[in-house]
Amino acid sequence: MNDLLVMGLEAAVLVAGLAVLLLDLWTPPAEKRNLGYAAAIAVGAILLASFAIVLPRPLAAFGGMFVLDEFALFFDRFFLLAALLVLVISVEFADRFETGVAEFYALILFALAGMMFAASANDFTLLFVSLELITVTFYVLTSFQRRQTQSLEAGVKYLILGALSSAFLVYGIALIYGTAGTMSFTRLAEAAPAVLDSRLLQTGLLLVLVGLGFKIAVVPFQIWAPDVYQGAPTPATAFLAVGSKAAGFVLLLRVLFTAVPALGPRWSRLLIVLSAVTILYGVLCAIPQRNLKRLMGYSSIANAGFLLLGVATLSRDGVSAVLYYLGGYLFTVLGAFAVICVALRHTEGEDIPALAGLHQRSPLLAATLAMAMVSLAGVPPLAGFFGKFLLLKSALMVAGDQPALYVLVAVAVVGVVISLYYYFGVIRAMYWPAEPVEQGHLPPIQLSRPLRWSLLLCIAGMLWLGVLPGMVVNLANLAAQTLLP
């Protein structure tokens, strides 16, 4: 019973998901769409409840398989907030689904539960199960517009590559268990140095890393990202970009710092190289993109590289910077996807030139997207700048011991400068298009009240994390401290 209490937040999300499925049976078809608001309210309530949790010390459940510490709590709140915004976006998108609107909401909640389990995973079993819960729900979410070939293509690609990555993952876990005789992160950390030195165990860890690399879209496991981002329904893309990526990072951090802290230094060179290559790949491939969702796909690859930079420092500062960066990324990316969902609904595809004149159709949408782009480009005083600042600072703090980090910092800076070009291109398309649009073609866009509030929340979040970062920095430090005491 006590164990169930420890995972109360996750349980509540699961119950909410099931409740949505049940409510669907009694809801008239015209009202089904509004179930999304019910789900959002439930998620909001759980989010509020999470702030009532006080943790004097970390709690464990199911024999240490599941832990609830500040680190997990930080990510629980992160995922809940992300899901809340994604649900609001989904309601706007719902009329584009033929059937199964309620299932879409329920699947988002199940994916959310998977992410929250991942945040608390302290055992390779739970790591695998939570990751599968996320991935399997996303197979469905990405191909939800089943009459559209693009969406189906996205689903199939994600299915094949996701299955492949799961295979790597499970094979790696088998090797680890075979060598160390345990699945638990805590017990693995206490294993004898001889065990850690064994080549089999290291191969196993490398395969786990490959599996996680797929989730966070790190080069060379990034191939799926642009296609899936472009083809999937916008709310699914948004959740994939924020939730799934963060879940990958949460597990990566747990494995690196809880399970095999002794092996970290040996891997730092590898992480640095991966980070540098990922950043460059993301920013260079984003330059010629004309489809906004695809651009966001490449941008998400580049951002995975920046986040990996923080991981590669192997320091508490670095972890804290990663958490902060993810926080800013949440508001920024969800704000952008909310705009994409509403502003580009009547156009074929999501071509950037179709944004022309958006500021006349809806100043709020244009302002949100413009701020999101400025924040992604890393310009103060918005969240993206401070996140990048913290990442670079954390890298330079330890660069004395690992000179390769200097090179990585230089690469990251080059990446930031290049990214300015395409992010500003989006702003330019909105405010001063190459071909001016006629006034008659600019019907104003009506925004529903929940969406309006969500957009304002994203703007407030970007400003808050950029101008008054103190509070979130403290939260991130606290969370990082539990991981790296």
Partner 1 sequence: MLAWTIYISFLGAGLLTLLPRNSAALARRLALLTALAGLAVAVAGLIRFDPAAGTRMIADVPWIPALHIRYFLAADGISVTLVLLTGLAAVAGILFSWNIEQRTKEFFAFYLALIGGVYGVFLSFDLFLLFVFYEIAIIPKYFIIAIWGSTRREYGAMKLALYSFVGSAMVLIGMIAAFVVAGHLTGHYTFDLTVLARVPFPASFQRWAFPLVFIGFGILAGLWPFHTWAPTGHVAAPTAASMLLAGVVMKLGTYGCLRVAMTLFPAGVTMWRTEIAVLAVIGIVYGAMVALVQKDFKFVIGYSSVSHMGFVLLGLVTLNQIGLDGAVLQMFSHGILAGLLFGVVGRMVYDRTHTRELADLETMNLGRALPFAAVTFVIAAVASMGLPGFSGFVAELQVLVGAWSAFPKAAIAAGVGIVIGVAYLLRAVQRAFFSDMAARPVEAAAHHPLPPISWPERIGAGLLIAASLVVGLYPQVLLNVISPGVASLLEAMRKGGAL
Which positions touch partner 1 (CB under 8 A)? 374, 379-381, 385, 389, 392-393, 396-397, 399-400, 409-410, 413, 416-417, 420-421, 424, 428, 431-432, 469-470, 473-474, 477
Residue (of 133, 138, 118) closest to 74 by Cα position: 118
- Residue 274: CB minimum distance to partner 1, A: 21
User: Which residue's CB is nearer to partner 1, number 109 or number 427?
Assistant: 427
Nearer to partner 1, 369 or 379 (CB): 379
Least separation in angstroms between residue 474's CB and partner 1 is 6
Helix (H, G, I), strand (E, B) or coil at 21: helix
Closer residue to partner 1, CB minimum distance, 217 or 430: 430
CB of 221 to partner 1, least distance (A): 28
Q: Specify the 3-state DSSP secondary structure of 56.
A: coil
CA atoms of 384 and 382, how far apart (whole Å): 6
Whole-angstrom Cα distance, residue 456 to residue 236? 21
Structure tokens at 281: 């790949």
Q: Residue 396 CB, nearest distance to partner 1 (Å)? A: 5
CA-nearest of 235, 236, 17, 248 to 110 is 17
Looking at the Cβ atoms of 114 and 466, the one nearer to partner 1 is 466
From the CB of 391, what's the least distance to partner 1, in Å? 10
With a CB cutoff of 8 Å and minimum separation 6, the contacts of 309 are 275, 279, 318, 391, 392, 395, 408, 409, 412
State the Cα angle at 169 between 402 and 186, rounded to 5°.
Answer: 65
CB of 434 to partner 1, least distance (A): 9
Instruction: Give the nearer residue to partner 1 in terms of CB position, either 7 or 314.
Output: 314
Task: Please list the alpha-helical segments (H only) found in 27-123.
Answer: 35-50, 70-93, 101-120
Instruction: Spell 247-256 as b/e; 16+ CB within 10 A means b.
Output: bbbbbbbbbb
Helix residue ranges per DSSP H, 438-469: 449-467
Nearer to partner 1 by Cβ, of 254 and 388: the residue is: 388
Minimum CB distance to partner 1 smaller for 210 or for 367: 367
Query: Cβ 374 to partner 1, closest distance in Å?
Result: 7
